[in-house]
Amino acid sequence: MTPALEIAGLDMSFGGRRVLDDVAISVGFGEVVYVIGRSGAGKSVLARLALGLLTPDRGEIRISGRPLDRRSPGALRRSRSGASLVLQGAALLDWLTLEENVALPLRHRRRLSRGAAAARARELLAGVGLAELAFALPGRVSAGARQRAGVARALALEPDALVLDEPTSGLDPQAVRQIDDLVRAVARRGTGVLVVSHDMRSLRRVADRLVFLRDGRVRFAGKLAELGPGLDDELDRFLAE
């Protein structure tokens, strides 16, 4: 079966330093795959590559079987229409309300009218428990609420694949649990979810599979049940957390 997101043979270097080396990851529909690794392991670069925000030195990315086409901005926009990314810290636009932020992709990518986009945005915000904060500016709500609004914005396009970059970073335990529940709920609807994180508690709660990156290479890829001591000393340290 075609995966929701497929990354194959990905190489990426910055200033002569190899950040990702022959990375391959596949995320099935309805599956949650966590990518873990130390800071600087190339996790966030991977998330940005997956949605075409960066161009790899080599390798291919497919969203629902369609390759990411970087020949022009228009081709890129079209070819990644089946995927969304929640950037680190949610990256909501400061000057727009949560509702306007969530309406953004609906207006620009779906070409909905202002009113229709706003109505759908309110539904999406209600879906992540933020109905009462629809008209608040991002700076006026908690980090957890911002993150959930970021997920709502990403879900506005009903993506086949959703990539989240450090979604629980800096959140309190209650907010972390809300995000974890949200990720699970998104996967239950059939969306393939790739989470880039180093939060082991969330991983144990949510992940179906795990990919461990070290020095830009995949050192382990498999189910949590397959994990055991002795695979990699750094992975052992992660697991001990």
Partner 1 sequence: MRGRPAPLVAFERPALAETARQLWSLGLGSLPIATLALAFFGVVLEKHAALQAQRALLDLDRIGPMFMKLLVREFAPIMAGSVLAARLGSATGAELAWMDASEQLDALSLYGARIGREVYLPRLLAGILGTLLVGVVGVLAASLAAGGFAQLTGTGRLSAFVSPRLVDGKDLALFWAKLGLDGASLPLAAFLAARRHGRGPRGIARAASTAVVWGVLCVLVWDILLGLAFA
Residue 199 burial (CB < 10 Å; 0-12/13-18/19+)?
Answer: buried
**Is residue 136 part of the contact set for partner 1 (CB under 8 A)?**
no
Of 3, 37, 42, 105, the one binding partner 1 by CB under 8 A? 105
The DSSP annotation for 111-138 comes to ---HHHHHHHHHHHHHHTT-GGGTTS-G
Closer by beta carbon to partner 1, 88 or else 191: 88
State which of residues 26, 79, 88, 168 lies at the interface with partner 1 (CB under 8 A): 88
**Should residue 120 be labelled a site residue for partner 1 when binding is judged by CB under 8 A?**
no
Q: How far is CA 170 from CA 103, 173, 226, in A?
A: 26, 10, 29
Interface of this chain with partner 1, residues 156 to 175, rule: CB under 8 A: 157
| Nearest CB to partner 1, comparing residues 108 and 237 | 108
| Separation between Cα atoms, residue 29 and residue 131, nearest integer Å | 28
Judged by CB, which is closer to partner 1: 3, or 105? 105
CB of 241 to partner 1, least distance (A): 27
Nearer to partner 1, 141 or 221 (CB): 141
Hey, what are 208's tokens?
A: 């179906």
Choice from 59, 89, 127, 129 touching partner 1 (CB under 8 A):
89
Distance CA 146, CA 123 (A): 16
Exposed e or buried b per residue across 156-192, where buried means at least 16 C-beta atoms within 10 angstroms of its C-beta: bbebbbbbbbbbbeebeeebbbbbbebbeebbeeebb
Pick the binder of partner 1 from 5, 32, 68, 87 (CB under 8 A).
Answer: 87
Q: Tell me which residues touch partner 1 (CB under 8 A).
A: 48, 51, 53, 73, 77, 84-85, 87-89, 91-95, 104-105, 108-109, 153, 157
